[in-house]
Amino acid sequence: MTIFFRNLVQNNVKIILTRNSDSQLFTVSYRNLSILPSVYDGKEDPAPKFFSSNVQVLLRRLTRPDFAKVFRKRTNSGRDVLKTPSYKFLTDEELEAEIAKANKRADRLLQMPPIVKIHQPINEILSEDPALIGYDNVKYLFTDITFGVANAHRIIVERDPDGILRSSDHDIRKRLNQTYFPIKGRKLREPIMFTDKDRLNSLLESEKYEFVLDRACIQYEPDEPSYQKITSITYQHIDMNKNYDMLRSTRHFGPMAFYITWHQSIDNLMLELLQTSAVREAVLLTALRHEIHGDLANGEQVQALVHQILPTPIQLSKPDRLTEEDIELDNKCVECIEKYIVGNSAMKSQQELALQGFREYYQQMIELSRGLKKAHGNA
Amino acid sequence: MLPPASGTGKFYAKAAKSIRLIRQGCTNRPFFHISVTHRKRLNSQPVIEQLGSYDPMPNVHNEKLVALNLERIKYWLGKGAHVSPPVAELFGLAGFFPIHPRSYMNAWRNRKTTQENIAKQMEEEKAKETANL
User: Given CA atoms A215, A219, A223, A226 in this order, what sign does their dihedral have?
Assistant: negative
Please answer yes or no on whether B95 and A155 come within 8 Å at the CB atom. no
Whole-model pTM: value is 0.85
Of A199, A201, A231, A229, the residue nearest A215 (C-alpha) = A231
Task: Please say which residue of A168, A200, A223 terminates a domain.
Answer: A168
The domain in which residue A157 lies consists of: 125-168
Instruction: For residue A237, tell me if it sits in a domain.
Output: yes
Asked whether residue A132 falls in the same domain as residue A19, the answer is no
Question: With a cut of 0.90, is the ipTM above it?
Answer: yes
Instruction: For residue A113, tell me if it sits in a domain.
Output: no
What count of other Cβ atoms lies within 10 Å of the Cβ of residue B12? 10
A128-137 per-position pLDDT tens digit: 999 999 999 9
Please answer yes or no on whether B69 and A136 come within 8 Å at the CB atom. no
Instruction: For residue A63, tell me if it sits in a domain.
Output: no
Of A201, A198, A234, the residue nearest A216 (C-alpha) = A234
Of A20, A11, A13, A15, the residue nearest A236 (C-alpha) = A20
Asked whether residue A224 falls in the same domain as residue A369, the answer is yes
Instruction: For residue A162, tell me if it sits in a domain.
Output: yes
Instruction: For residue A364, tell me if it sits in a domain.
Output: yes
A141-167 per-position pLDDT tens digit: 999 999 999 999 999 999 999 999 999
B20-73 per-position pLDDT tens digit: 999 999 999 999 999 999 999 999 999 999 999 999 999 999 999 999 999 999
Closest-CA distance, B72 to chain A, in angstroms, reads: 8
HSE-up (13 A, CA, CB side) for residue A226:
19
Instruction: For residue A54, tell me if it sits in a domain.
Output: no
Integer Rg of chain B from CA: 21
Q: How many domains does chain A have?
A: 3
Asked whether residue A152 falls in the same domain as residue A205, the answer is no
Of A145, A147, A159, the CB nearest to B93: A159
* Mean pLDDT confidence for B63-89: 96
Q: How far is CA A74 from the centre of its chain?
A: 20
CB contact A164 to B (< 8 Å): no
Of B66, B72, B106, the CB nearest to A140: B66
Instruction: For residue A236, tell me if it sits in a domain.
Output: yes
Of B62, B67, B93, the CB nearest to A145: B67
Asked whether residue A145 falls in the same domain as residue A267, the answer is no
Measured between beta carbons, the chain A residues lying within 8 angstroms of B111 are 133-134
DSSP state of A119: P
Asked whether residue A209 falls in the same domain as residue A159, the answer is no
Helix (H/G/I), strand (E/B), else coil: A27: strand
By the 8 A CB rule, do B48 and B10 touch? yes
Asked whether residue A164 falls in the same domain as residue A198, the answer is no
C-alpha pair distances (Å), B42 with each of A215, B23, B35, B36 = 48, 12, 12, 12
Please answer yes or no on whether B65 and A143 come within 8 Å at the CB atom. yes
Reported confidence tier of residue A25, pLDDT bands at 50, 70, 90: very low
3-state percent breakdown (helix, strand, coil) of chain A, nearest 5: 55, 5, 40
Asked whether residue A197 falls in the same domain as residue A336, the answer is yes
Amino acid A239 reads D
Measured between beta carbons, the chain A residues lying within 8 angstroms of B72 are 146
C-alpha pair distances (Å), A173 with each of A121, A144, B24, B94, B112 = 11, 11, 25, 15, 34
Asked whether residue A206 falls in the same domain as residue A355, the answer is yes
Asked whether residue A138 falls in the same domain as residue A274, the answer is no
Asked whether residue A210 falls in the same domain as residue A313, the answer is yes
Asked whether residue A156 falls in the same domain as residue A245, the answer is no
Instruction: For residue A205, tell me if it sits in a domain.
Output: yes
